[in-house]
Amino acid sequence: KSSVQTIGEEQIQNPYTELLVLKGHQDIVRFLVQIDDFRFASAGDDGIIFLWNAQTGEKLHELHGHTHKITAIAPFSSSDVAEEKTNLIITASADRTVIVWDCTSGRQVQKVSCFQSTVKCLTVLQRLNVWLSGGSDLCVWNQKLDLLCKTSHLTDAGISALVELPKNCVAAAVGKELIIFRLSASNNGYEGWNILEVKRLVEHQDNISSLVSVNDLTFVTGSHIGELIVWDSLDWTKQASECNFWDSSVHPDVQPEIKLSQSPHETSVQHLTSDEECVFAAVGKGIYVYNLQMKRVIACQRTAHDSSVLHIEKLPNRQLISCSEDGSVRIWELREKQQLPAEPVPTGFFNMWGFGRTNKQANQAAKKMQENTPVYFLELVGDLIGHSSAVQMFLYFGELGLATCSADHLIILWKDGERESSLRSLTLFKKLAQNGDLQLKL
Amino acid sequence: MISAPDVVAFTREEELEDDLYREPPLPEEYSVPLFPFSGQGANPWAKVAGSKFTRDFILISEFSEQVGPQPLLTIPDDAKVSGTFDLNYFSLRIMSVDYQASFVGHPPGSAYPKLNFVEDSKVVLGDSKEGAFAYVHHLTLYDLEARGFVRPFCMAYISADEHKIMQQFQELSTEFSKASECLKTGNRKAFANELEKKLKDLDYTRTVLHNETEQQKKANDKGYYTTQAIEKANELASVEKSIIEHQDLLRQIRSYPYRKLKDSEFHPYEPECAQDRADMGSHDQDPTASEPGETHLYTHVPSYTPKLIKAKSAKCFDKKLKTLEELCDVYFFTQTLDQLHHIERTFRGDVCYLLTEQISRALLKQQSVTNFLFEDVSFLDEKPPEKQYRGCQGLGQDAMDEKCLEESLAPKVVISLGSYKSSVECVPIKMEQEMEDSEEPKMSESVMSEHQENLDYLDADIKGSISSGESIEVLGTEKSGSGLTKSESQASLPAMASPQAGRSKVGSRRTVSEDSIEVLSTCPSEALIPEDFKASYPSAINEEPYVDDDQGGLRFTPRASPGVHDGQDDISKQESLVQVDAACCIGKESPNFLEPLAEQLGQKACEEDGVVRIPPQPYRGPAEQGLRGGFPSHQGLSGGLLPYELDSRHLTGSREVSKSSLDECSDSTSHISSAASTCSDRTPSPAQPACAQPGDRHRKRAGQNALRFIRQYPFAHPAIYSLLSGRTLVVLGEDEAMVKRLVTALSIFVPSSGGYTKPVKHWVTSALHLVDFQKWKLIGLQRAVSPGGVNVLHALSRYSRYLSILDADSKTLRCPLYKGSVVARLADHRTQIKRGSTYYMHVQSILTQLCSKAFLFTFCHHLHLPISEREPEESVVNRRMNFLKLQLGLANEDIKIVQYLAELLKLHYIQEPGQGGNPLLRFDYVPSFLYKI
């Protein structure tokens, strides 16, 4: 019997009672990126980029240009003083090209194909009006796709993740290393930039799999063997770390067979997201909520899904959405449990007590703290079953709903049925008035 | 006053009531006027026995100037159809009542022969002895070689059922007019072509003669002309005159008022028609300019070498007359034949069926917002609009006018009590005439010509005929709604036209005579005015009192035909809908809005009795009784089903051969019915246009299967609820036939989301996916033991929240709970309905009720949107739920059904025409339960 928490067919809190299947892709859909309030783009292994209307599910554009799978996608709103704001997206592909597309016209704006290797990540520095591509080296481009500067060849494996840091710095995850680069205006000439390697951080024992900036002061990295390190964005020092996600021995409620079945893959930090207070980590099959202030995991769901959690997102309303290789999307709510300090730890796998500490002191301190701090747990409030294969990513559109993309080539738009129904009524009466059908027709 | 029992039937109904029953009279304002002719013994199914042909057919005859009336061809072209029926004799009959004033030749005071473009005449006549009744459409074709340039033809639709002809008069007239127009268009082209050739001949002859005369002049300088020369000169003069005449004829034939083409829809050959029109526009000033069609002909003309024409081209009787095909150009001839075949197919079958079909079609057309849900709307597009329904629209014309003021959003067809009123309005006039002269009703058509359909009925009953040995009655023809005097003068036409008419005719009255031709109404032949054509309705020139004879068919009372009542039922539904609509829009509290409906139904049921009480066939009695017993609240409906039943039995009877595999499941009732249909006096007509056939068969089969399903499975209700609420139902089973049968059965409950096909997939063997649930709402799924089968089952359990699963092998159902009441009415396992098609109709009626509720719910503005800006969403939701519960009287899960239908309506309405629209899947997070037998 699976230890995954299940929710019955009755899901009162699940607002998604309507769905639209968006067909178009011919291979795994890996990326969803929001363009503006109602549009999003999808891309995947078939090399095609689709632009969709998130409200109607209408296919707006089909962008052809890449010959191989898409490896990175980033939205980029160019804001020239003279021109109006135009929405662009930048896509990188395994065919070693990067293309800039205009989202409104659906046309290819520019194409760069001078790369030595596949670009694996793209970051836009809106502040500087430049964008960076990371492959085996790191390149800096301006809006017009002029190469401003580039680093020397870093590694064959290439940069797996990039994140913007304050003071014109970027952090790049290269294998086990985290390299901090700084962009500086060069002395010779207008729009000239230099990129310099500032620091190399080698705290991780394994490849860095995820990298996220929490706020101006901190950023977080996660590695394949489940290490989570919190860094200071300004001086790039380690603030805290957590590395025993996989260590189930400290959790008496977890059955031994699960421990046996655990492999490095299942402890890898697949995805990180954060709000101001917490970092939410998708580790293996589980979800962990790490509080930055308390410097400990305050809630977790060790087996949130049947297989690896691929993407995780925090919603404004204390809810958390996760999607997984098992093809399901689950909605969680972070709840506070009022608990008497003396009361023993309740059984149930969502409560994490005495979570493994590297530092014994910290552990004790944490234990002390526990006694008078609220206890959190993750409650499953709904699941969305639609995809027949791994759900790669999802995009939360607020009221418009939720878009999920999957290895089954589909994108599903999940919508609030009630809201859609009343919207349709509104449209209906508008159309009635338009057609003049409200008048008496004799 | 009148006491003889055989005359009682023909006295006023009111008198009968007063005299025989002495019932205390109701105050005038409460009394429902009785339909005057739903008299005792009126058996709508009685047929004139002894007709010598087996089914309706179309006959084309010609009045040949050589041999007199002769039949040319029949449609269908099958000797079996006409049987022993004497076509020659009947041709004589129908050709002898040609009222076209087709006068061609030199009219007095005119220099040249003049072509009259006469309107076709449309006559209904009957030969009660032969048991044949016919709609006869006379037309005149032009032939240069014929006497007076004209060849009279006629097309006749011959049926053993007089009432069919009378009631379908408008439709027949419309359809035959199309055929006639097609023939005549072809004929005009051919005639023009012929004239061209003739002119060339004449021109050549003139040149030759001219040359000869010149030669003679030169050769002969004596100063005087020889007889020869004079002769030649005369000849030349006559040729020149002939040329002018023929040119004139050509001009006339080409200046045929093409505006006719514009307003009528007769052209079955669109491209040419369009060309003609375009051409007409550009060559308006010059009518003699050749039009494309003729240009095409002229391309062959140059090869034509003019011949010398003898001075006296006397018409000789031994020459071969042109065939119809030659007269009309092959293309147009085949088009006409196609049209006639179409007519034959359209009007096959019992008149009740035709009427019901027409009425329900007309009603359906009006429900344009909701009819896509459960009705098969594809046929609505196929048929040419409007004309088809004229009969029933005309019927309700008055009612419509009355209702229009009251109605708001609702559909507009009203064939309701109002039409009683209208018929009553005109009936007393007739009655009074009868009072004046109780045995000889007069013509009174001017009062009544507006109610053409009623008039047909009245004709049928009040018309008189004495069936003598030579019995042929003209029952009605078309007239061009003109004044009384005109009609009178025209009414005198037949007297002149029929040589053997030995009657005395004084003004508009006729005494009972032994003569054989009774003309009840006629059609004037006037020069063509399109407006006239449009306004033309059959008139009632009732000349003879009805004297009873043994031909019981004449007692038919068309107004009591179930078809009409069926329509009324629908109307009453609509009326109730209207009331609710009004109520809710005004905001008035009307929780018991259903009452008027019930009342009306009850009322209808009473009126219905006249029909239902009279069993059409002895064996039908018990079945009918049972049916009525089973549905006390739907008597009106069951009454309305009769013609359908009748027809479907025809289907089984005549098409037993083509049983498909699915028919295996048809239960014993169908065997009974097929046995019953062997009853011989019925026209064994396959009854249906070929296109409608599959639909009908499908309905019947689906109805039967559904009936079996609800009897066999105690959990039919939740299953049907799943379908109605849009939750996909998967029928899982190993046996393909069984699964398909179940799917067929359940398919009648599946609301369609627009488009022409229902979202039903009969058989799937691979694993289902989410996209399938979006597309299909009812799926038959194979249960396989193979590894693939495991996947199939896995997918089912994975997507179980979107599905209800009916396991046909283990007879279980897994689906949400249903506690509503709508489905219980829809699928009562103790139902007394025995026939599939009856059940189908029952389902349709309940679904229609649901649709109207959904319609109301969808289109009430304040149920979905706040009344004021500041109104919170909750109060709208509350109002919505209150409306559903209190106003629509829905309970529990029934609300979900209406909500789902409303959602479909919304989607259908807001969908842009060009756009396919993304199918969306709506679902609820509700627990499922497992039902077992």
Flag whether B29 is in a domain. Answer: no
CA separation for the pair A380, A368 (Å, rounded):
28
Flag whether B117 is in a domain. Answer: yes
Flag whether B643 is in a domain. Answer: no
pLDDT number for residue B471: 41
CA separation for the pair B8, B10 (Å, rounded):
5
Flag whether B145 is in a domain. Answer: yes
Comparing CB atoms, the residue among A20, A422, A440 nearest residue B408 is A440
Taking CA–CA distances from A389, the nearest residue in chain B reads B769
Chain B residues whose beta carbon lies within 8 Å of the beta carbon of residue A415: 920
More confident position, B836 or B391: B836
pLDDT band at B28 (very low <50, low <70, confident <90, very high): low
B918 vs A: CB within 8 A: yes
pLDDT number for residue A412: 92
SS3 B7: helix
Question: A150-154, A297-301, A435-439, B375-379: which has the highest mean pLDDT?
Answer: A297-301
Burial B835-861 (b: 16+ CB within 10 A, else e): bbbbbbbbbbbbbbbbbbbbbbbbbbe
Instruction: Pull the structure tokens for residue B586.
Output: 């005004």
Instruction: Pull the structure tokens for residue B209.
Output: 């003669």
CA separation for the pair A363, A371 (Å, rounded):
13
Say if the Cβ atoms of B922 and A388 lie within 8 Å.
Answer: no
Chain B residues whose beta carbon lies within 8 Å of the beta carbon of residue A22: 918
Comparing CB atoms, the residue among B859, B864, B920 nearest residue A19 is B920
Comparing CB atoms, the residue among A14, A19, A410 nearest residue B921 is A19
A440 vs B: CB within 8 A: yes
More confident position, B401 or A115: A115
pLDDT band at B308 (very low <50, low <70, confident <90, very high): confident
Taking CA–CA distances from A381, the nearest residue in chain B reads B925
Chain A residues whose beta carbon lies within 8 Å of the beta carbon of residue B798: 385, 388
pLDDT band at B50 (very low <50, low <70, confident <90, very high): low
More confident position, B398 or B875: B875
A205-209, B425-429, B487-491, B821-825: the lowest-pLDDT one: B425-429
Say if the Cβ atoms of B920 and A426 lie within 8 Å.
Answer: no
Say if the Cβ atoms of A57 and B918 lie within 8 Å.
Answer: yes
A8 vs B: CB within 8 A: yes
pLDDT band at B579 (very low <50, low <70, confident <90, very high): very low
pLDDT number for residue B409: 36
The type of residue at A381 is V
Chain A residues whose beta carbon lies within 8 Å of the beta carbon of residue B409: 437, 440
Taking CA–CA distances from B859, the nearest residue in chain A reads A429
Surface of B (35-94) touching A: CB under 8 A? none
Domain end (from B332, B353, B374): B353
CA separation for the pair B826, B634 (Å, rounded):
12
C-alpha Rg value of chain B to the nearest Å = 33
More confident position, B811 or B119: B811
Say if the Cβ atoms of A424 and B907 lie within 8 Å.
Answer: yes
Mutate to test the interface with A, among B859, B904, B918, B926 (most CBs of A within 10 A): B918
pLDDT band at B310 (very low <50, low <70, confident <90, very high): low
pLDDT of residue B501 exceeding 70, the answer is no
Surface of A (366-425) touching B: CB under 8 A? 382, 385-388, 410, 412, 415, 417, 420-422, 424-425
B921 vs A: CB within 8 A: yes
What mean pLDDT do residues B365-384 have? 67
CA separation for the pair B393, B396 (Å, rounded):
5
pLDDT number for residue A29: 93
CA separation for the pair A305, A309 (Å, rounded):
7
Say if the Cβ atoms of A17 and B774 lie within 8 Å.
Answer: no
Flag whether B841 is in a domain. Answer: yes
B225 vs A: CB within 8 A: no
B869 vs A: CB within 8 A: no
pLDDT of residue B637 exceeding 60, the answer is no
A433 vs B: CB within 8 A: no
pLDDT of residue A356 exceeding 90, the answer is no
Comparing CB atoms, the residue among A9, A56, A420 nearest residue B925 is A9
Per-residue HEC secondary structure of A385-436 comes to: ECCCCCEEEEEECHHHCEEEEECCCCEEEEEEHHHHHHHHHHHHHHHHHHHC
Q: Is the ipTM of this complex over 0.85?
A: no
Instruction: Pull the structure tokens for residue B810.
Output: 């283990």
Chain centre distance of CA A152: 29
More confident position, B606 or B362: B362
pLDDT of residue B810 exceeding 50, the answer is yes
CA separation for the pair A290, B393 (Å, rounded):
76
Say if the Cβ atoms of B909 and A8 lie within 8 Å.
Answer: no
Asked if residue A93 lies in contact with residue A70, where contact means CB atoms within 8 angstroms, the answer is yes
pLDDT number for residue A283: 87
Cis? peptide before A256, omega within 30° of 0: no
Name residues whose C-beta falls within 8 Å of residue B237's C-beta, 6 or more positions apart in sequence. Answer: none
pLDDT band at A404 (very low <50, low <70, confident <90, very high): very high
A18 vs B: CB within 8 A: yes
pLDDT band at B910 (very low <50, low <70, confident <90, very high): confident
Flag whether B859 is in a domain. Answer: yes
Sort strands B505-506 and A286-291 into parallel, antiparallel or unpaired: unpaired
Percent of chain B with pLDDT over 70: 50
Say if the Cβ atoms of A19 and B923 lie within 8 Å.
Answer: yes
Rounded to the nearest integer, the mean pLDDT of chain B is 63
Chain A residues whose beta carbon lies within 8 Å of the beta carbon of residue B858: 425, 428
CA separation for the pair A367, A370 (Å, rounded):
5
Domain end (from B297, B324, B353): B353
Which residue is listed with tokens 């649901």?
B850
CA separation for the pair A187, A164 (Å, rounded):
23
pLDDT of residue B383 exceeding 70, the answer is no
Asked if residue B785 lies in contact with residue B771, where contact means CB atoms within 8 angstroms, the answer is no
pLDDT number for residue B860: 86
A223-237, A380-394, B225-239, B392-406: the lowest-pLDDT one: B392-406
pLDDT of residue B626 exceeding 50, the answer is no
Mutate to test the interface with B, among A14, A21, A380, A434 (most CBs of B within 10 A): A21
Asked if residue B61 lies in contact with residue B72, where contact means CB atoms within 8 angstroms, the answer is yes
More confident position, B568 or B235: B235
pLDDT of residue A42 exceeding 90, the answer is yes
CA separation for the pair A238, A231 (Å, rounded):
5
Domain end (from B304, B335, B353): B353
Chain A residues whose beta carbon lies within 8 Å of the beta carbon of residue B920: 18-20, 57, 415, 420
C-alpha Rg value of chain A to the nearest Å = 23
More confident position, B97 or B459: B97
pLDDT of residue B464 exceeding 70, the answer is no
pLDDT band at B647 (very low <50, low <70, confident <90, very high): very low
Other beta carbons less than 10 A from residue B247's beta carbon? 15
Q: What is the pLDDT of residues A165-200, one digit of tens each?
A: 888 888 998 888 888 988 887 766 556 778 888 888
pLDDT of residue B842 exceeding 80, the answer is yes
Comparing CB atoms, the residue among A19, A23, A426 nearest residue B865 is A426
Say if the Cβ atoms of A428 and B910 lie within 8 Å.
Answer: yes
DSSP class of residue B38 equals -
More confident position, B130 or A298: A298
Whether the CA torsion B433, B437, B441, B442 is positive or negative: it is negative
pLDDT number for residue B826: 87
Say if the Cβ atoms of A10 and B771 lie within 8 Å.
Answer: no
Chain A residues whose beta carbon lies within 8 Å of the beta carbon of residue B927: 8-10
A255-269, A364-378, B226-240: the lowest-pLDDT one: A255-269
Percent of chain B with pLDDT over 90: 4
- Furthest CA-CA distance within chain B: 123
Q: How many domains does chain B have?
A: 2
What mean pLDDT do residues B510-530 have? 37
pLDDT of residue B19 exceeding 80, the answer is no
Flag whether B778 is in a domain. Answer: yes
A192 vs B: CB within 8 A: no
Rounded to the nearest integer, the mean pLDDT of chain A is 80
Q: What is the pLDDT of residues B434-448, one digit of tens each?
A: 344 434 444 444 333
Nearest to B812 by CA among B927, B706, B719: B719
More confident position, B26 or A77: A77
pLDDT number for residue A5: 76
pLDDT number for residue B417: 36
Say if the Cβ atoms of B926 and A9 lie within 8 Å.
Answer: yes
pLDDT band at A48 (very low <50, low <70, confident <90, very high): very high
Comparing CB atoms, the residue among A22, A56, A428 nearest residue B906 is A428
Q: What is the pLDDT of residues B540-564, one digit of tens each?
A: 333 333 333 433 333 333 343 343 3
Taking CA–CA distances from A56, the nearest residue in chain B reads B918
Say if the Cβ atoms of B864 and A431 lie within 8 Å.
Answer: no
Asked if residue B802 lies in contact with residue B770, where contact means CB atoms within 8 angstroms, the answer is yes
Name residues whose C-beta falls within 8 Å of residue B16's C-beta, 6 or more positions apart in sequence. Answer: B8
Chain A to chain B Cβ contacts (< 8 Å): 93
More confident position, B754 or B868: B868
pLDDT band at B250 (very low <50, low <70, confident <90, very high): confident
Domain residues for the domain of B326 are 57-101+112-218+230-255+316-353
pLDDT of residue A340 exceeding 60, the answer is no
B795 CA to chain A: closest CA distance, Å?
A: 8
pLDDT of residue B83 exceeding 80, the answer is no
Asked if residue B820 lies in contact with residue B897, where contact means CB atoms within 8 angstroms, the answer is yes
More confident position, B223 or B772: B772
More confident position, A182 or B499: A182
pLDDT number for residue B458: 37
A224-233, A242-251, B648-657, B879-888: the lowest-pLDDT one: B648-657
More confident position, B584 or B829: B829
CA separation for the pair B537, B459 (Å, rounded):
13
A14 vs B: CB within 8 A: yes
CA separation for the pair B252, B258 (Å, rounded):
12
Flag whether B414 is in a domain. Answer: no
Q: What is the pLDDT of residues B400-431, one digit of tens each?
A: 344 433 433 333 333 333 333 333 333 333 33
Asked if residue B916 lies in contact with residue B761, where contact means CB atoms within 8 angstroms, the answer is no
Burial B531-543 (b: 16+ CB within 10 A, else e): ebbeebbbbbbbb
pLDDT number for residue A323: 92
CA separation for the pair B606, B609 (Å, rounded):
5
